[in-house]
Structure 1
Amino acid sequence: MWPANNYWGHQTMEADGRARAMRPLELPLTHLPSRVDLRRYMTPVEDQADMSTCAANAFAGACEYIIKRRTGKHVDVSRLFIYYNGQMIDQRSLEVTDDGASKQNTILGMRKFGICEESLWPYDEQLLNQEPPPHVYEAASRVTVIPLKIPRNLVAMKTCVANEIPFLIGVRLLKTATMEAKTNQGYISMPDPASSTVARTGSHAVLIVGYDDRTRHFLARNSWGRDWGVHGYFYIPYEYLLEKRLVNYLDGLWAITDIIPRSHHKPTVRRLVVPGHNYDAKRRKDKHRHQMSLLEKSLMTMQLIPNQKFSHLQSLMSIVKRSRRHSSFY
């Protein structure tokens, strides 16, 4: 069902500036096949209905995929349990509204509170924004997930999928996509990124479950039911996911590498590293070089009295030191 308010339920996060030291992860398959399709392990596509739960639906689908790939069994994972706890990550009270949840908060909520079967906390609009009872939390707390953050580049995206790990991304999906997906065998076209329609369209989380180099399209799992697109799936151009005006890059690209029994410590957030494509290290190096350049220019050009000069120098040096400091992911 298409949400009535042109807002698909995926919050856009502002860049918070906090350092996040994530443990690097290299995946074993680095030779990428020309085509990958993970639908054989996917459970049937579900409908988020008129609730802003696209990220929760996508992550539930990712969990069900892991369970089915490992055991061969179809287990329905509670979407509203995931959604509520994703909203609670940044909340200061137990009261929440149906304003959507970011991918990052949603996956951190899963890591903190776990997941449970949908039979314990059903997908019922009357339970929307309601706190699940203690016995549901107790059942969910037995397991947790290992989050993986994906770099924003084509090689990393394809590497993730080629290693049988679907990932979430937030896209601006125009209303015209519904008709396109219906009449064009699931394929949607590349919109004009500069159009006002794109700017007015909210972010919608989908699960990338395949790709095809021949057509240069990713295969995406939606959450608008099996009657949408091709049994709930559609094909989106590579260029679509690489255009920053059409995707929500601030919130990142996220995946779940595994569902594991809970221990005393939350699992470390992993960061995908593709050999020969260490974009994160390059960005840190470029940022440090830029900060040092600013420092040198300031020392050469500032015309200040001595005490002001010393204060200004201290401030600049503190910026450089902060750029080198790493803190653990929360």
Structure 2
Amino acid sequence: MALAEDKRTAPTSRKTSRYGWLPDLPDPRDRIFNLEEAISRADQVPPKVDLSPNMPPIYNQGHLGSCTGNGIARALEYEQTRQSEPAVTPSRLFIYYNERVIEGTVNQDSGGQIRDGIKVVATLGAPPEAEWPYSDANPGPFEQKPPPNVYQDATKHEALVYKRVLLGGAGAPLRTALAAGYPVVFGFSVPMSFEDGSWDPTKEPLPVPGPGEQFIGGHCVVMSGYDFTRTRFSDPAFQIENSWGEGWGMGGRFWMDAHWFDPNAGLVSDLWVITKVT
């Protein structure tokens, strides 16, 4: 099953597997996003940032637990555009397969860790999706190792610089990263309200789970902006790009309150930016 296990998760069955984020294990070797460096690149941290006009079209992971492969491919493709490189949609299945090689779960739709997906695009790269197309069939291509020529072409599209973003008060580090032009790939614990109809993604930011609310898995998404006018609180809401197609939410996007990103809440982790690609 592709759901990332959460200690607070109660439901035991799902009709589809549309999640798949597994929390990273601690690694002291992680490079940390330098806030001072980011601020020096951005003239200021404005009250509103929206990177979505330059983001690629919303992906659709279908029934596979490949959200990490989708999120990382999205950040990689965006950075190509930001650097004025020829934009090539990366193969999401290539990233997802090789994540599972690292994690020893290659024969399962097990989900994956964001760090391992970042390692894939940093060490192997990612070939064009046209060379290793996406399919959510299960059983299907997600279990198959790509041929040697696909691995060879993957090296033309690598993440050269990638860094972890630390959480801070009211999402300040996230706002700085976004203002510097970098979308943030991250994982969050999915509350029951995400799917039970009690929350409408077209009308309001996803509220922080209430006491006793159940969690149904872990999901990797991409943050592409923030806006102080999108929330009733004094802190901003953050614009999030999902991987369930453009027919979901606000054209494939939704908003999250800044309270999600309180480092003491334990709801969000594994936040990464890709800042240089080939």
Using structure 2 for the length normalisation, give the TM-score: 0.81
Cα distance 1:13–1:21, how it changes in 2: closer, same or farther (>3 A)? closer
Report what 1:311 is aligned to.
Answer: none
Q: CA RMSD in A?
A: 2.5
Alignment of 1:62-81 (within 5 A): 62-71=75-84, 75-81=88-94
Verify: 1:225 aligned to 2:242, yes or no.
no
CA offsets, 1:224-256, max 9 Å, x none? Answer: 11011100000110001226555243xx21111
Q: Is the 8 A contact 2:192 2:213 kept in 1?
A: no
Cα distance 1:75–1:223, how it changes in 2: closer, same or farther (>3 A)? same
Gaps of 5+ in 2: 4-13
Q: Tell me which amino acid in the other structure corresponds to 1:155.
A: A
Q: Is the 8 A contact 1:160 1:166 kept in 2?
A: yes
Identical aligned residues as a percent: 27
Equivalent position to 1:140, from 144, 154, 162: 154
Cα distance 1:168–1:158, how it changes in 2: closer, same or farther (>3 A)? same
The SS at the match of 1:89 is helix
Equivalent position to 1:241, from 261, 266, 269: 261
Cα distance 1:227–1:95, how it changes in 2: closer, same or farther (>3 A)? closer
Gaps of 5+ in 1: 261-330
**Equivalences, count:** 250
Going by fraction, where is helix more abundant, 1 or 2?
Answer: 1
Equivalent position to 2:50, from 8, 16, 37: 37
Q: Tell me which amino acid in the other structure corresponds to 2:190.
A: L
Measure the CA separation in 2 of the matches of 1:180 and 1:110. Answer: 37
CA offsets, 1:190-223, max 9 Å, x none? Answer: 221x42503xx21101100000123320000000
Q: Which runs of 4+ in 1 moved over 6 A?
A: none
The structure with the largest alpha-carbon Rg is 1
Report what 1:286 is aligned to.
Answer: none
Measure the CA separation in 2 of the matches of 1:253 and 1:102. Answer: 11
Verify: 1:59 aligned to 2:72, yes or no.
yes
Equivalent position to 1:112, from 123, 126, 144: 123
CA offsets, 1:73-105, max 9 Å, x none? Answer: 6532110011111222233xx843110011111
Q: Is the 8 A contact 1:143 1:259 kept in 2?
A: yes
Using structure 1 for the length normalisation, give the TM-score: 0.69
Cα distance 1:243–1:120, how it changes in 2: closer, same or farther (>3 A)? same
Alignment of 1:173-212 (within 5 A): 173-178=190-195, 179=197, 182=200, 184-185=202-203, 187-192=205-210, 194-198=211-215, 201-212=216-227
Measure the CA separation in 2 of the matches of 1:158 and 1:236. Answer: 13
CA offsets, 1:113-164, max 9 Å, x none? Answer: 1011101000023211211110000000123202111012221111001111
Q: Tell me which amino acid in the other structure corresponds to 2:120.
A: G
Cα distance 1:109–1:14, how it changes in 2: closer, same or farther (>3 A)? same
Report what 1:47 is aligned to.
Answer: 60
Report what 1:323 is aligned to.
Answer: none
Measure the CA separation in 2 of the matches of 1:254 and 1:76. Answer: 19
